[in-house]
Structures are given as structure tokens and as C-alpha cells.
Chain A
């Protein structure tokens, strides 16, 4: 039996009040970015994993995130043409499609989601973690924009621990290179107390974010921690971490989620509240953005809720206790970068997913493997086997792409999902999962 969906008016998509709030925040931010050439504000382009928003704000810079622009292009179904544009200009069909979407967008006039031209960055803050592609991405942008490029390397947490050598390296880079260059570019002197203030605010929002993500331990889960989760991480992974806006947003969101728990409601979906939670899943890997809603629908139509996901940890892992710490400002920025999900070793990723399955009482693991993302994808088949072995719960593997519509085959994905749900059913009825 299919779960009941409380249907929304067919002409519009259902949104929580928090989603509307977020939409307003994003719109304001994009307008601020696009106004920068008029207002004289300077723009720093930087990446989500390794986003040092608190530091950027210390220099009155506006944060522009090319990955978020690529996501927006994906959601607005523009990324396909941007990618082709980049390929026509000599970029290989094999490489990360985020990069190509961004470059294609630039070639097509750099029009943002608000239909206005995005500004040229005044500085590229190449703070990257968890993926080598970022390094090439900004070398490519530097070639176009000819602006100063500041580099911050985050060592990889290969042995499952953060060593003093790693922290010292990062702090030295911040002190001796990143901060002085940001001062030079912005003309603003660095004030560590200002940074502390922002970090304090970050931590407050982070507490609420964690409460929201962990609300999925309830049955039924009041949230979808993958499809819905992507909205929830938006402000904190983007240009709002460390702001009052983020504190307000996460307080608001938390209240909203708590109300849902109190009422025993399931997650809100584009078609209304999902009722009758049938499957609880953990998902590893980024989503597909070009058919995002269609993809999500394949889950909620079957009564499947994602109760935990690794993708919602790409811009920071907070659920194991890390918080930005105003007492140790630079060290804390370093730890933040080091803890990003894809900067964690494969055994750490396996442990994390196993824990999620156990703690969130999930039925199993689903991996969405992204064709163009080596950082996530290389090793996922082993992750799948190990998680299955350690939890005894079935796992399934699907393949799509983030923003390249050529690699989303709805029929294939749907088939895989359907057989996966059958596997979960078999497992429950004690017949054992098919391999």
C-alpha cells in the first residue's frame, strides 16, 4: 500500500515556513552580490567544504560560492547547456560537472539565479577540503579573472585523527598568508575579537542544526535528512554561518521541526506532508539536482524517508560534537575544515554510515554514486559492502550525476529503488535479502 500524502494545491509546491524564510535570505544574498559593483562591496569566491565565512566577514567581503551557483543552475535546468558550453571550449567530458557548469555559466554571462549578472570576484579564497578538484577549479577561474588567489590547504584525515602537525600547518597558513592577504585585498585590518563574535554565533546556529538533523531519530521522522536536509544546510554551509540571520533561521527551523514531532507528522515534501513512513534510509553521496524533485518523489511516493545522509556533512560535520570555538578561533577554523565529510578517511566514512544506520534505526543504506565526483565515488562500492557486512542491513547502489542531466536515467533509478524496497521488505519478513 502506498503511503498517504496530504496533497498540496496542484499548482504549487508545498513549503515549510522555514523554506520561505530561507528563500528570502538567499534572494537577499544574491541581490547583495549582484549589487556589489554599485555598492563597492568586495566579493570573495570560495568553496562550501572549507568555507571560512566568519573570516570572510571580518574583512567585510561578500561570500560567493560557485558550487551553490552550480546547484542553482542544476535546479533551474540550465546546467546542461553550461556544461556543453564548457565542453565545446575544450573541457573534457570526463571531469567534474560542477566545474564545467560554473565555467559554462561564466561564458554565458554569469547570470545568477536572480536573473542578474554575478560580479567578478575580487579575490579567490581557495580554501578547499576533501577534494582535489577545487584546486584546479580555482586555477581555471584565476586564469579568467586575474584576481589574487589565496590558498589554504587542509591535510587529509587519513588515519582517522587530527594531528598537531595538521593544526599547526593550517594555523600557520592562516596567520602568515591567508589573513595578511585578506587584509591587503580588503583594506580592512584583522580583528580577532570580531572573528570570535562570529564564531560564537556560528556555534549557536550549529546547535540548532544538529537538533534538527537528529530529530530524524523520531518515528516517524519529522524531516527528510537528504532531500529536505539540503535545504536545512543551505544557510550554514553558505554565506550565513556566523550571522544573526543564521541563528534566527535555525531557531525557527528547530521550532518548526519540534512542532512536527509533537503532532507526529512526517516530513514535508513538495506534494505535502508524507504520512505513513514505510522505509527509513541512510543515503551516501550527493543528490542529482537536474531532476531533484522527480528523484525525491521516487522516495516519498514509496513512503521512504531518508533519516541521515553524508551529503549534509560536506560543509561541516557537527553531529559528533564539533562546534566553532571562539576561545580557539584559528584552531577551530582548522578543525572545521579537517572535519568535513569527504576529508574523512574511508574507514571513518564507513563507521559514520554504520552508526547512522544503528542510531537512526534505518532499514539500510542507499548510495547515490555521482559520475563526475571522484572524491565521493571512488571507494563507494567497498563502503557498500562493509556497511552491509557490519549492519546486516541491505544496501543499494544507484548512479546519477549532480548537475549533468545526461546522466540521470529516471527509469533506471526508479527500477533500482523499487527492487531495493523489495529487498528491505524481504529482509523484514525474515526471508533474507537478495544479493
Chain B
């Protein structure tokens, strides 16, 4: 234990969050010659492979509410979500000029098309659309996925000029296993003692993992969990809720804070899924691509961007999260114009209806400014949850 306070750790995480020039990642790159940074968009890429290639994975989650979008709007119609335009803005304004490659995971048509835009706008950068299987049989989806990972590795090897071995990847899986275990511990703490680890803080601390080397992030997570456990913050009469639909374009920090101010303890969410995508420890003693593939196919998060082959399983992840965390309601928060989240929402709501779980829904954008309506809606929701549980 380093003895750091939650305030100190959160302040560092918030500085990283606020830094739209990615100074920390730039510093990492410049610290040694031959280092490379590989950017990636939400939701998931196997960061282990980038790490094994000796590179730094950099999670690019759009520009948030602090970036002034000057050029980006000229690339997108008004009826398309914000994240691609602010990402383009980051690119065109030179903020990503130190990045050797950009990965665009297969989430939706917008991110998919953005991969081609990036190729056109930044022809000197390694660009890969990272396709993932939507079928979950090892012999079918698994073989395809291993093929995709091999292609990615070849791309990274071309950049670095050195081969990545199985041992390299296994070692990287081990570090990320630790990272995931720490994140699980952080979420467990939030569910158990949410007043000690508020969502707005946990968000920042988790998000720091998108820009820091994973080893450093592991230390930060450990420090924060220790410090948060030791705080003496008072418990409030809040309602425990789960937040879902925020898997891609990130909400402004103020939105999370507003929910807390409205009386919510947000005990689970789908922010930055990349870090929690694999839900169980990945074996490190065998063929690493097979291990990553198996984990992807059989032990990974559910989200709207993924096909659910078994209808009976549709939406069950929310029910399980409710049971795991003791949450009392669900908040569907979706990015405006986000087809995956918004098309999925009614199906998830039907599952909750069947078991009488209360929920509310609203839309946001990464640059939403006015929080009053959301705060009011959430406040009313919390009141009604309390009424129900009292009845």
C-alpha cells in the first residue's frame, strides 16, 4: 500500500481524463526509441496483443464535452452520434499524430465506416478494422477470430519490426488478467460499499487504464481500492441502480455525477467494456490465441453490439447484474442516434418487465451540457424505487 488518498488518485485520473493531448501516452512513447502507440475505439480489442508487441494500447473514446469540434462536424450529418466526429477532430487537430496505428472494432456501421475514413484521411497510419465473430463455436467463430488476431499481429510486427512470440502474449495475458481481476474487485467494492467508491470516481480510475501502461494502471487500481475501503464516507439513503447503454460514446462526467446527486448509487455499468470484456481469467499456459479466442467466445460481456444466439439468454445479463450487485433498478442511457443501443433497448426492457424490475430511459451525447432534466428524471426514479421497496 502506497498510502495515497482517494483524492490524490482521483486527481491524477481526472488529469489524465482531461488531457485531450494524451500527454502521458506521448511521454511513454518518447521515453525510449522505437516505441509505438496503437489507438483503438470502443468496445473491444485484445490489448494483450498490442502489449505483447511492446506497444501501448491507447483507448480513444471520443472527445467528450471538453473538445471543441471544429472540423469534425463537416464530416457527419446531424443525425449521426458524436463519437465519430470528435474522434475525427482528434485526428485532424493533430492530437493523435503520435499514434502508429488505429484499430476500429466491429461495433456498428458508424465505427466500421470510420475505419475507411481513417484510411482515406490518414494514409500513413496503420488502420485495421478489427472484425470479431458473432458466432460462438470454437471451430467456426473461433477459427475466424484466431485468423483475425493473426492478421493483427502481423500488422503490429510490421510496425515494430520484431516477431511476437507465444510467450510474449502469455506474459501480457497475465498482466491483463491482473488488471481485470482488479477491476472486478473495484466493481465488487462499488456494489458492496458504493458510498466509499462512488461511480464518478471509479469511472475516472478505470478510465485511466485506457491511456496508461497496464502495469501502472494495476498499481493505481490497487491503491484506489485500498484507499477507498479505508475512507470514512457516510452512507446515504440512495438507491442502487445499474446503468446500461453507455458502451461506446461515453457520457460526460457530469452526467454520472448528476445521477449520484439525484440519489443513485451506480453499482454496475457498461462503460469502457474493453477493460472488463473478458469475464474470467484467461489461461496463460497454452496457445495464447486459442485462449483469448475461447475467452472471447465463452466468457465475455453481453452488449447490444453482440448477437445473442439463445433467445432465453437475451437480457439475462442485466438480471444477473441485479442479483450480483443488489441493485434495485436499471437506467437505460443511450447515445442519441445509436442504433445498437436503441434497437436493443426494448428487448431488454421486456425482460425487466417480466420480473417487475423498474427502469427509466433517456438519451445523451458526449457533449450534453444541460443535466437538469436527467437529474430530475433520476430523482423521481429513486423516489419511486424507495416507495416500492417500502411498500
Contact = CB atoms under 8 A, between A and B. Distances in A.
A142 B304 contact: no
Nearest to A386: B120
Given A132-B340, A139-B314, A173-B140, A374 B109 contact: yes
Nearest to B150: A165
B379 interface: no
Interface string B74-86: 1111011000100
A135 B134 contact: yes
A165 B119 contact: no
Given A135-B134, A172-B140, A374 B108 contact: yes
Interface string A76-110: 00000000000001111011100100000000000
Interface stretch (A183-191, A195-203, A375-383): A375-383
A126 B135 CA distance: 12
Given A158-B129, A380-B77, A139 B346 contact: no
Interface residues of B, number: 59
A156 B346 contact: no
A239 to B, nearest CB: 25
B114 A94 contact: no
Contacts of A91: 342-343, 346
Nearest to B140: A172
A140 interface: yes
Contacts of B338: 94
A160 to B, nearest CB: 9
B116 A169 contact: no
Contacts of B308: 139
Contacts of A158: 104, 112, 115-116, 128-129, 131
A345 B77 contact: no
A168 B344 CA distance: 30
Contacts of A131: 109
A350 interface: yes
A338 to B, nearest CB: 12
B189 to A, nearest CB: 34
A155 interface: yes
Given A132-B109, A177-B135, A347-B119, A378 B80 contact: yes
Interface string A187-230: 00000000000000000000000000000000000000000000
Contacts of B339: 94-96, 132-133, 136, 374
Contact of B349 (A90, A96, A369, A378): A90
A89 B109 CA distance: 25
B120 A382 contact: yes
B236 to A, nearest CB: 32
Contact of A382 (B117, B314, B347): B117
Contacts of A349: 116
B106 interface: yes
Contacts of A155: 131, 144
Contacts of B134: 135, 151, 153
B108 A346 contact: no
Interface residues of A, number: 56
A103 B340 CA distance: 16
Contacts of B115: 158, 345-346
A168 B135 contact: no
A159 to B, nearest CB: 8
Interface in A120-142: 126, 131-133, 135-137, 139-140, 142
Given A133-B109, A346-B116, A374-B110, A382 B121 contact: yes
A374 B137 contact: no
Contacts of A142: 311
A11 interface: no
B80 A374 contact: yes
A147 B134 CA distance: 19
A347 B113 CA distance: 10
B120 A346 contact: yes
A135 B113 contact: no
A143 interface: yes
A12 interface: no
B120 to A, nearest CB: 6
B116 A379 contact: yes
A29 interface: no
B74 A346 contact: no
Interface in B100-151: 104, 106-110, 112-117, 119-121, 128-129, 131, 133-135, 137, 139-141, 143-144, 147-148, 151
B343 A99 contact: yes
B159 to A, nearest CB: 16
A371 interface: yes
B135 A156 contact: no
Contacts of B121: 382
Interface in A262-315: none
Contacts of A163: 147, 151
Interface string B36-51: 0000000000000000
B33 interface: no
Contacts of B148: 165
Nearest to A399: B77
A68 B139 CA distance: 35
B17 interface: no
Contacts of A165: 144, 147-148, 151
A176 B84 contact: no
A377 B80 contact: yes
A156 B77 contact: no
Given A347-B119, A350-B120, A375-B109, A151 B343 contact: no
Given A156-B129, A347-B120, A168 B144 contact: yes
A99 B339 CA distance: 11
Contacts of B337: 94, 374
A399 B78 CA distance: 10
Interface in A374-433: 374-375, 377-382, 386, 399
Given A135-B307, A378-B76, A380-B77, A347 B116 contact: yes
A284 to B, nearest CB: 13
20 contacts: A90-B346, A91-B342, A92-B343, A95-B339, A131-B109, A136-B304, A137-B343, A146-B311, A156-B129, A165-B144, A169-B143, A169-B144, A177-B140, A371-B77, A372-B79, A374-B337, A377-B77, A378-B80, A378-B84, A381-B75
Interface of A: 89-92, 94-96, 99, 126, 131-133, 135-137, 139-140, 142-143, 146, 149, 151, 153, 155-156, 158-159, 163, 165-166, 168-169, 172-173, 176-177, 342, 345-350, 369, 371-372, 374-375, 377-382, 386, 399
Given A155-B144, A378-B80, 7 more contacts: A140-B343, A143-B347, A158-B115, A346-B113, A369-B77, A377-B80, A381-B75
